[in-house]
A and B are shown apart, each in its own frame.
Chain A
Amino acid sequence: MLDIESQKSPKGRWPTPPFDPRFPNQNQTRNCYQNFLDYHRCVRKMNQRGKGTQPCEYYFRVFRSLCPRSWVQRWTEQIQEGTFAGKI
């Protein structure tokens, strides 16, 4: 579930993340963070209900495109250690 490698983007025509009207300005920090949170929340909820996590893939691809690798790595480690500050 938390393994990025197992959720690699499909080899299809994934255009880059579209314009998100919730984040219209120069500062896209929240765009990256929000999609990261949404992905993990989606996966958690789907797993709770026993459903597949395929619909969560959109959030995964958006944060993979937008978020710097170092940030994703740091947050993933924090989630694994239980020290992640966000609500998932």
Chain B
Amino acid sequence: MSLLLNFVCCHLEQEVEYRLKVGRRVVSGWVHTAQAARPNTCEICCKTNVRALSRSAPVAGIFEPDDLKLEPDIPEYPPLKLQMRGYDFVILESYAKYVHGLADSLGLDTDAWAVPARSKDIHTFKPNSTVVDNKYSLKMFERVVQIESVPSPRLPILLEMMRTHAPEGVTINVKESEPEEEEFRYIPDKEMRDLRQQMKVIEDAREERRKK
């Protein structure tokens, strides 16, 4: 009795056929021969001595379900950011928590983070002089809730609830992610920058020497 098995080896992208010889039994996917060449494995896998290679795929084949959906039935928005900004920290954070919970309860994939605050120093002057009258130090705090795989009819519901419950002093922006905003979240690595600077100096010097 010979069995014809088709499988895709992890090293080769083509289908490889192997025949099991008469007299060899395959017990639960493992071949009980220690010294003979292992059937159902390609040359490369045979040469490795690793016993931990998984054998179930070569023996039983790979299962691909028929009803895989590559696209959802209802079209979805790309990942959106709900950006909340305000000068009043307490109110902003409380609202951001509410929005995160709201997005979760609507069944959306959510992620939330705080963006570093941007400070503003404001000086007011006495009329017709450079004498400082008042100094104000304000911080614009920011919280972001990112939502993914939003079915298109669901976003209006989220926006409606957000607007109904929005407090005073919070500005809300709904948009896709921008690279500059992502860069702003990270603290620049001074050491790395200095090293790169040094490298640049060395390379410039080398080029100049070459020109000469």
Does A pair with B?
A: no
Chain A residues at the B interface, C-beta cutoff of 8 Å? none
Chain B residues at the A interface, C-beta cutoff of 8 Å? none
